[in-house]
Amino acid sequence: MQEIKKYVEDNKQRFLDELFELLRFPSVSADPKYKADVLKTADFVAAKLQEAGADKVEICQTAGYPIIYGEKIIDPSLPTVLVYGHYDVQPADPVELWDTPPFEPTIRDGKIYARGACDDKGQFYMHVKAFELMMKTGTLACNVKFMIEGEEEVGSSNLGVFVKANAEKLKADVVLISDTSMISMENPSIETGLRGLAYMEVEVTGPNRDLHSGVYGGAVANPITILCKMIASLHDENNHIVIPEFYDRVVELTPAEKEALNSAPFDLDEYKKDLNIQAEWGEKGYSTLERTGTRPTLEVNGIWGGYIGEGAKTVLPSKANAKISMRLVPHQNSEEISAIFQKHFESIAPEFVKVKVTAHHGGEPVVTPTDSIAYRAAEKAIFDSFGKNPIPTRGGGSIPIVALFEDVLGIKSVLLGFGLDSDALHSPNEKYDIFNYYKGIETLPLFHKYFAELSK
Amino acid sequence: MQEIKKYVEDNKQRFLDELFELLRFPSVSADPKYKADVLKTADFVAAKLQEAGADKVEICQTAGYPIIYGEKIIDPSLPTVLVYGHYDVQPADPVELWDTPPFEPTIRDGKIYARGACDDKGQFYMHVKAFELMMKTGTLACNVKFMIEGEEEVGSSNLGVFVKANAEKLKADVVLISDTSMISMENPSIETGLRGLAYMEVEVTGPNRDLHSGVYGGAVANPITILCKMIASLHDENNHIVIPEFYDRVVELTPAEKEALNSAPFDLDEYKKDLNIQAEWGEKGYSTLERTGTRPTLEVNGIWGGYIGEGAKTVLPSKANAKISMRLVPHQNSEEISAIFQKHFESIAPEFVKVKVTAHHGGEPVVTPTDSIAYRAAEKAIFDSFGKNPIPTRGGGSIPIVALFEDVLGIKSVLLGFGLDSDALHSPNEKYDIFNYYKGIETLPLFHKYFAELSK
């Protein structure tokens, strides 16, 4: 432990400088105009893995953005840890709401502000530096494989193909991922479940052209009004989702699970204060932690139609569009839910309009075991560096790759994340605490140490 | 009549070239970035009035865009016609839906395609050319005053001040306006009523920042979903507007009025075919002509919130916005309705969100008399040039200035428009038939002739 702390101490500034370099690449995978930047980011990651001491570093081409692979096999008889992360980031907009430029990392009271600071550049890069540390201090206890992709924020659409094609090369005993949050540094936690995702786009078409709202208004269905009515109908007065078959596969938590989940430290008033909301919202009969961790949800991620510029335009538009995504819980399947949604949304379209429903990427929900060697190794590592055992929690987000690994490679994952819910993932002013960054670099070698020991 | 036709025939090409020149100015009053172009348009109009033979041509400055004035007083004892029009146009977006550039007028099978072709450049310029014709052929029968403004599409916000300040200068016996439509060239008609307008903008704010829809989805109210529910609630299942007091001042048509209105030639199947819609929509118990001409309506003109770019972003946005306008009928008042809307919209906002409601411009509804000398002169003019009497109709659009004239100057208007509902006003591919343009130039001198005769 001392040796680890010393190495981190001695290299503090360099570790930070390198992360800043990584954060300056606007590697937005959703927007084609950043293509060159995403590719540069991939090169950077490969170079850093090489420097850290990885062998067989490779920029693996895919139908989309490349996947960076690297490995260090010290002894085939030792267990192997496969580290997964992603170097792409969410779009930065609305850019005007950032206090400092999203791709110019800035430190304010101990926090690094930048798009990707926490999700996931700051977190996967801890593994690169922890790996360097173990190499330089000769403490590497397991074989290590890295797989850092560039399409997580757009659904990892090409990762499945890659994993299937490279099953042998990716053989490992555990997948280690830092792309999740802890309750707090005082209450370290490990997410043991993730929700799946089905992401849809809908288009409602009324008249074949934009119309003058004075000449036609009141006599022709307005696609915005119709879309609003359709969206409004997707939740009932108790905020249950009103889509036939949607809940069919959803399993209620046992009283014991409910209790364990709700025993996690959570302050609703703090939560509301942080978001500046008068009242929380959600499915009747469930707590906030249950709503985000264990229940499927439906959110409108975007809506647009008609005139959205300055001033006033009296138009009755031809089209209205929305992006709608659903978070899925264990046993739900993204393709099935996408089909169920499409069928329902088309069925509620009134005769006045035409509706087009298309599916974006999806991902499957997962629950990770808390009785595995890997989980216990993570527990011990956190106990050593935080002084207390982690609380198992259920995360609301989705990391489709986790389910993919189980299906294709038969490997379970450990979600050893060091972020915080307040890190503003996917929002303006995303941040990552410098403390958490270093804490992660210190904790990860301990995971490798205990994973090797417990695997004996 | 022969003299008129000959003059038009001899100057056909020039009349068209000048209109094209006028249409090439992108005089979009709603968008500040076109300011210079709007001002250039004002200069052009002034110059053309001068050339046509107007005296005292003046570019009258206002707090906004200038108003062009010009006059020809041939004999104070003769009646005076005040011609009103506007040289500003609606925004051209969505520009990608135009078949040819909105500000590069193009002729396709006898129609001029350009923003403003019909609304209102093509129509007010007919008056400039008709005036030139009467001057050159020495047939001017009335005194003429021109007032062409540049802010009609943004609510004529500075015209009221100008009119009040220049009441004496603007003294006239009738206001003649060509900014409306006819049923068809086979069924000439004159609009005898116009709806008023109240235009609102609403903003719904949920959490204080955009959130990750996985981490917070299901536990925090989504402002898009809430806005959709609020908008959905504004119409009931019969498409009546559900805002307390909204209909209080609305007067039902008498059976006779209903019959006259519905006797106008109208083919619902043609209407639906033209718009490519399966079914018409609207307030239960009223025909399409009644809905657009005689009933107040509420339309969402624009909506936006969350991520509306390429691909997928899993965001639960902080804000959602909409532009909502209401068309008003006689006895309703735009300020009163704006207040009623604001009160109601704020009252239906759930505790999860904050709502901000602001009012854009408004305008008052009007009904023009069908028994006045001016209306009869218009009737006779149309009979001469179309071979049949015009059908009185109720227009769904709004020209706030008409009510303003009645209030401030005590002058009634005649809405002698030559457009067609199919001209795609406020839409991509706005057009105006060359036939209608020339027909208007031929018909207007006849109005002046008969107005002078009937006024004796």
User: Under an 8 A CB cutoff, do A209 and B421 touch?
Assistant: no
Residue B268 covered by a domain: no
Note whether A97 and A212 are same-domain residues. no
Distance from CA of B322 to the nearest CA of A (A): 8
* Nearest in space to A48 (alpha carbons), one of A24, A19, A25: A19
Based on the fold, state whether residues B45 and B188 are members of the same structural domain: yes
Average pLDDT over residues B403-425: 92
Confidence of residue B398 (pLDDT cuts 50, 70, 90): confident
Residues B55/B72, Cβ–Cβ less than 8 Å? yes
Residue B285 is assigned to a structural domain of this protein: no
Span B50-97, pLDDT tens digits: 999 999 999 999 999 999 999 999 999 999 999 999 999 999 988 999
Nearest by CB to residue A292, choosing from B32, B208, B219, is: B219
| Beta carbons within 10 angstroms of residue B160's beta carbon | 14
The pLDDT tens digits for A52-84 are 999 999 999 999 999 999 999 999 999 999 999
Q: Does A288 touch chain B (CB under 8 A)?
A: yes
Best mutation site among B120, B156, B216 for testing chain A: the one with the most A CBs within 10 Å?
Answer: B216
Q: Where are the beta strands (DSSP E) in B208-312?
A: 211-212, 297-306
What size, in residues, is chain A?
Answer: 456
- Judge if A407 and A436 occupy the same domain: yes
Lowest mean pLDDT among B114-128, B194-208, B250-264, B347-361: B250-264
A433-454, pLDDT tens digit by residue? 999 999 999 999 999 999 999 9
Instruction: Please tell me if residue A235 touches chain B, with a CB cutoff of 8 Å.
Output: yes
Token digits of residue B328: 């008003």
With an 8 Å Cβ cutoff, is A228 touching chain B?
A: yes
The reply to whether A69 falls in a domain is yes
Assess whether pLDDT exceeds 90 at residue B363.
no
Q: Are residues B149 and B101 in the same domain?
A: yes
Domain with residue A81: its CATH number is 3.40.630.10
Secondary structure class of B187 (helix, strand, coil): coil
Give the distance from CA A254 to its chain's centroid.
27
What CATH number has the domain bearing residue A333? 3.30.70.360
Q: Which residue is closest to A419 within chain B, CA to CA?
A: B215
Same structural domain for residues B157 and B62?
yes
Q: Does B181 touch chain A (CB under 8 A)?
A: yes
- pLDDT, average across residues A335-362: 96
Under an 8 A CB cutoff, do A352 and B279 touch? Answer: yes
Question: Which of B363, B386, B410 is the last residue in one of the domains?
Answer: B363
Rounded to two decimals, the pTM is 0.82
A256 touches chain B (CB under 8 A): no
Are residue A161 and residue A127 in the same domain, yes or no?
yes
Instruction: Note whether A302 contacts B317, CB cutoff 8 Å.
Output: yes
Diameter of chain A measured on Cα atoms = 79
Catalytic residue among A151, A152, A173, A290: A152
Chain A, nearest residue to B155 by Cα: A312
Cβ-nearest to A302 among B154, B301, B306 = B306
Residue with the bigger pLDDT between B264 and A307: it is: A307
Q: Residue with structure tokens 């106990």? A: A383
DSSP B254: P
Split at pLDDT 50, 70, 90, the class of B182 is: very high
pLDDT for A257:
82
Tell me the nearest-neighbour CA distance from A253 into chain B, angstroms.
17
User: Do residues A384 and A449 lie in contact, with contact meaning Cβ atoms separated by under 8 Å?
Assistant: no
Within-domain flag for A14? yes
For the cut 90, the answer to whether the pLDDT of residue B429 exceeds it is yes
**Stretch A279-298: mean pLDDT:** 94
Between helix B35-52 and helix B2-23 the angle, nearest 10°, is: 160
Report if residue A274 sits inside a domain. no
Residues of B in contact with A425 (CB under 8 A): 212, 215
- Whether residue A235 and residue B225 make contact (CB cut-off 8 A), yes or no, is yes
The verdict on residue B69 lying in a domain is yes
A214, A397, A424 ranked by CB distance to B209: nearest: A424
Cβ distance A315 to B321 less than 8 Å, yes or no, reads no
Q: Please indicate, yes or no, whether residues A40 and A108 belong to a single structural domain of this protein.
A: yes
Q: What is the mean pLDDT of chain A?
A: 94
**From the candidates B96, B119, B152, B210, which should be mutated to test the interface with A, based on the most A CB atoms within 10 A?**
B210
The range of the structural domain enclosing residue A433 comes to 2-194+365-454
Question: d(Cα A267, Cα A260) in Å, to the nearest integer?
Answer: 16
Q: Are residues A309 and A442 in the same domain?
A: no
Position with higher pLDDT, A395 vs B434: B434
> What's the total number of domains in chain B?
2
What are the pLDDT digits (tens) for B272-331?
999 999 999 999 999 999 998 889 999 999 999 999 988 888 899 999 999 999 999 988
Q: Which residues touch A358 (CB under 8 Å, ≥6 apart)?
A: A200, A201, A202
From B291, B302, B426, residue closest to A212, measured CB to CB: B426
Which positions in chain A touch B300 (Cβ < 8 Å)? 222, 224-225, 228, 305-306
Find the mean pLDDT for residues A297-301: 98
Closest Cα of chain B to A180: distance in Å? 10
Closest CA relative to residue A220, chosen from A205, A210, A206? A206
Residues above pLDDT 90, as percent of chain A:
82
> Which among B181, B225, B309 has the least Cβ separation from residue A300?
B225
Do A414 and A438 lie in one domain? The reply is yes
Q: Does A400 touch chain B (CB under 8 A)?
A: no
CB B206, CB B319: distance < 8 Å: yes
Domain ends where: A338, A363, A388?
Answer: A363
Is the pLDDT score of B377 beyond 90?
yes
Here the tokens at position B68 are: 């062009």
Burial of B336 (0-12, 13-18, 19+ CB in 10 A): middle
* CA–CA dist A259, A238 (Å, integer): 23
From the candidates A88, A120, A379, A423, give the one annotated as an active-site residue.
A88
Q: How confident is the model at residue B264 (pLDDT cuts 50, 70, 90)?
A: confident
Say yes or no: B67 and B115 in one domain: yes
User: B363, B389, B410 — which closes off a domain?
Assistant: B363
B148-162 pLDDT, tens digit each: 999 999 888 899 999
The strand pairing partners of B435, in sequence order, are: none
Q: Which residues of B touch A195 (CB under 8 A)?
A: 214
What pLDDT is stored for residue A93 in this prediction?
A: 87
B10 and B36 assigned to the same domain: yes
| Domain-embedded: residue B283 | no
Does A17 sit behind a cis peptide bond, omega within 30 degrees of 0 on the bond before it?
Answer: no
Regarding whether B141 and B185 lie in a shared domain, the answer is yes
- List, for residues A373-385, the tens digit of each pLDDT value: 999 999 999 999 9
Domain assignment of residue B263, yes or no: no
| Record: contact B300-A222, CB cut-off 8 A | yes
A152 is known as an active-site residue: yes
B301 at A interface, C-beta within 8 A? yes
